[in-house]
Amino acid sequence: MPVITFANTKGGAGKTTAVLLLSTELARMGHRVTILDADPQHWISRWHELSGHIPNLSVISHVTSSSLEAHIRENKANTDCFIIDMPGTRSPLLTMALGISDHVVIPIQGCAMDARGGAQVLELIEFLTEKTGRKINHSVVLTRVNAMITTRSLLLVKGLLATKNVRVLDTAIAERAAYRDIFDYGGTLSGLDPLKVSNLDKAKENAQSLAKEILRLLPVRVVRSVPHVPSILRRKVA
């Protein structure tokens, strides 16, 4: 029942898009996902309302620092993976979410502004690790990457992260029209029409490799837990 938080204090870094891609892909694979929408702008909640029922996926809105832990406690029995969408700001909620996360993903577009917002999250993780002695696993995912060309600013950001020994996911999230369309029309990549959306196959492949790579990084395997049978019932059956 791992908790994954997507955070970057810079707005527009691609957090919500990455949350959507990972959550819908994990749900498609059969994992029960609960998204905790901690952004006061409620983009994920709006997308979910527009989408209607999506198997294996639920969304909890209005998540605050005083409600976060209760949401996790109350939903852990029916959730294989919690995914938190943070707003692009620094707040006590961010500190709390980082502190309870099994993995923090920091989406960064290939530009210096985003890298600075990402660096703030990395500093906060370092501070929390020093204070609590608990290691917080984290990695950067590069977002809105042009699938065809590598820009100079992207190389600069990659170089900067390498000097700081920050893990960068092998899977970068490409700039794709399909990722904007699921926001605008609701639903998932599987529901889009390949005749109307360019490079839909590539967009799906990208989301799949993102989910597979993040699953490999989790300390706890994301699997549906086998229902617990109380020992008294087991004896009766025997």
Ligand X SMILES: Nc1ncnc2c1ncn2[C@@H]1O[C@H](COP(=O)(O)OP(=O)(O)OP(=O)(O)O)[C@@H](O)[C@H]1O
Q: Contact residues for Mg ion (CB under 5 A)?
A: 15-16
143 makes contact with ligand X (CB under 6 A): yes
Closest residue to ligand X, judged by C-beta, is 88
Judged by CB, which is closer to ligand X: 2, or 87? 87
118 makes contact with ligand X (CB under 6 A): no
| 173 touches, from ligand X, Mg ion, none (C-beta below 5 to 8 Å by class) | ligand X
| 143 touches, from ligand X, Mg ion, none (C-beta below 5 to 8 Å by class) | ligand X
Q: Which window, 11-19, 26-34, 93-101, 152-160, contacts ligand X (CB under 6 A)?
A: 11-19
H, E, C per residue of the chain: CCEEEECCCCCCCCHHHHHHHHHHHHHHCCCCEEEEECCCCCHHHHHHHHHCCCCCEEEECCCCCCCHHHHHHHHHHHCCEEEEECCCCCCHHHHHHHHHCCEEEEEEECCHHHHHHHHHHHHHHHHHHHHHCCCCCEEEEEECECCCCCCHHHHHHHHHHHHCCCCECCCCCECCHHHHHHHHHCCCHHHCCCCCCCCHHHHHHHHHHHHHHHHHHCCCCCCCCCCCCCHHHHHHHC
Judged by CB, which is closer to ligand X: 68, or 106? 106
13 makes contact with ligand X (CB under 6 A): yes
Total residues interacting with ligand X, rule: CB under 6 A:
18
Instruction: Locate 117 and state its tokens.
Output: 């917002």
211 makes contact with ligand X (CB under 6 A): no
| 12 touches, from ligand X, Mg ion, none (C-beta below 5 to 8 Å by class) | ligand X
**Cβ 146 to ligand X, closest distance in Å?**
10
Q: Which window, 23-31, 97-105, 173-181, 215-223, contacts ligand X (CB under 6 A)?
A: 173-181
What does the longest C-alpha to C-alpha distance in the chain come to? Answer: 68
186 makes contact with ligand X (CB under 6 A): no
Contacting positions for ligand X (CB under 6 A): 11-17, 39, 87-88, 143-144, 173, 175-176, 179-180, 183
